[in-house]
Amino acid sequence: MEKLSLRRSLECPMDDFENFDILFASDRSFAYAEQTITKILKSRRLVDNELLIEKLLKTLGVERPQDFYPPRSNQTLRDLHSHIIDSASPDHHKQSILYYILKDFPDNNKTASAFARAVYLPEKYRIFINGIWLLDRGEFAKALDYLTEPVLIPTFPEEILYILCTHPDQRDDKLPLAYYYTVSPAITTPKVIEALFSKIAKSSVTEALLWSRKQGETSHRKLFEQLIHNVLDGPGGENKATRSVELIHLPFSKEEEAWFEAYLTDGKGKSLHGAKDALKVRAIATGRGSPIAERTEGRRGKSDHDMDWSSLGSSYEQGSVTSA
């Protein structure tokens, strides 16, 4: 990529951002470098083939933004600039996208910042663009430093959450929760609800149950069953045993109690390792079963999918786990 230096240090009239040659101050051969294009295309493939900048371009009325971004030639860059300028959107929306594009260049901070100052781009727009530019490039933690700023009105919150929950390079389960609990966006898209719920359930079984109850009856049951599956089918070890005890001991409603039994008896969860034992121990926890020693007869000292049910039984017998 050729280095971009803005003419006259952008000491130009504000409306000059509409003039491509003044804005980019480049010769006819100026274009994105191949390695930059390759990185952008790779980033796009990791987010269901649509970057956040492309969603923004659509809000400006740019049809098929992937035809123009990333621009593969000087002419394509000119065409992209033209589509942005010809939009009926307010100037600060156009300037925000141009700010994003300028950040793609080698001296991105200097060049983009100079442009933002020259056109008096409002701070909240600079903050938002900084955030989505970083998110599009897979710099998740840095992106959240911007996207959780109180000054911002949540924009594309579901898309941002879904990226944080599902991006293959995003392995910090705390980040989507940090964004969700800080921004408190309304979530209505099923795939986003399920992706976020998986992260909540991984963090806290109890919190996941409480959250599922706020999602409406249809979603509530689906999420409740997802919680059971996540716990019983999760990685083995002490953490699984702890999470299983927490799940089995939760104060279910009558509906949830019926769903729990149906899912593990006749539903998709009946084939899960530990399904029968979970039902038995739940019955004891709610005072509906015989002593745990009798219910787990023949299983003492045995482990079911890395869960030691004899230890769990002992906990009940010794009173270290109280009835729900």
Tell me what the pLDDT averaged over the chain comes to.
85
- Residue 302 has what pLDDT? 40
- Residue 6 has what pLDDT? 47
**Does the pLDDT of residue 66 top 90, yes or no?**
yes
Task: Show Cβ contacts of residue 272 under 8 Å, excluding neighbours closer than 6 positions.
Answer: 228, 229, 232, 233, 264
Distance of CA 111 to the CA centre of its chain: 30
pLDDT tens figures, 21-47: 888 876 677 788 899 999 999 999 999
Q: Is 291 exposed, middle or buried (0-12, 13-18, 19+ CB in 10 A)?
A: exposed
Pairwise CA distance, residues 96 & 59, whole Å: 12
Residue with more model confidence, 223 or 291: 223
Q: Which residue has the tokens 């786990």?
A: 321
State mean pLDDT over 217-232: 94
> Per residue, what are the HEC states of the chain?
CCCCCCHHHHCCCHHHHHCHHHHHCCCCCCCCCHHHHHHHHHHHHCCCCCCHHHHHHHHCCCCCHHHCCCCCCHHHHHHHHHHHHHCCCCHHHHHHHHHHHHCCCCCHHHHHHHHHHHCCCCHHHHHHHHHHHHHHCCCHHHHHHHHCCCCCCCCCHHHHHHHHHHCCCCCCCHHHHHHHHHHCCCCCCHHHHHHHHHHHHHHCHHHHHHHHCCCCHHHHHHHHHHHHHHHHCCCCCHHHHHHHHHHHHCCCCHHHHHHHHHHHHCCHHHHCCCHHHHHHHHHHHCCCCCCHHHHCCCCCCCEECCEEHHHHHHHHHHCCCCCC
State mean pLDDT over 42-59: 96
Contact assessment for residue 302 and residue 310, using Cβ atoms and an 8 Å cutoff: yes
Most confident region among 41-55, 108-122, 286-300, 310-324 by mean pLDDT: 41-55
Pick from 249, 309, 242: which is nearest to 275 by CA? 309
Contact assessment for residue 118 and residue 10, using Cβ atoms and an 8 Å cutoff: yes
pLDDT tens figures, 294-303: 444 444 434 4
Contact assessment for residue 184 and residue 153, using Cβ atoms and an 8 Å cutoff: no
According to DSSP, the residues that pair with 216 across neighbouring strands are: none
- Residue 292 has what pLDDT? 41
**What pLDDT band is residue 234 in, cutting at 50, 70 and 90?**
confident
**Does the pLDDT of residue 204 top 60, yes or no?**
yes
State mean pLDDT over 306-315: 48
Pairwise CA distance, residues 148 & 141, whole Å: 11
- Residue 282 has what pLDDT? 93
Contact assessment for residue 175 and residue 134, using Cβ atoms and an 8 Å cutoff: no
Pairwise CA distance, residues 318 & 119, whole Å: 71
State mean pLDDT over 125-152: 97
Contact assessment for residue 57 and residue 89, using Cβ atoms and an 8 Å cutoff: no
Pairwise CA distance, residues 84 & 103, whole Å: 16
- Residue 243 has what pLDDT? 93
**Does the pLDDT of residue 19 top 50, yes or no?**
yes
Contact assessment for residue 232 and residue 269, using Cβ atoms and an 8 Å cutoff: yes
Q: How many CA atoms lie within 13 A of 117 on its CB side?
A: 10
Report the range of poorest mean pLDDT among 57-61, 104-108, 158-162, 276-280. Answer: 104-108
Q: Two tokens at 81?
A: 């600039």
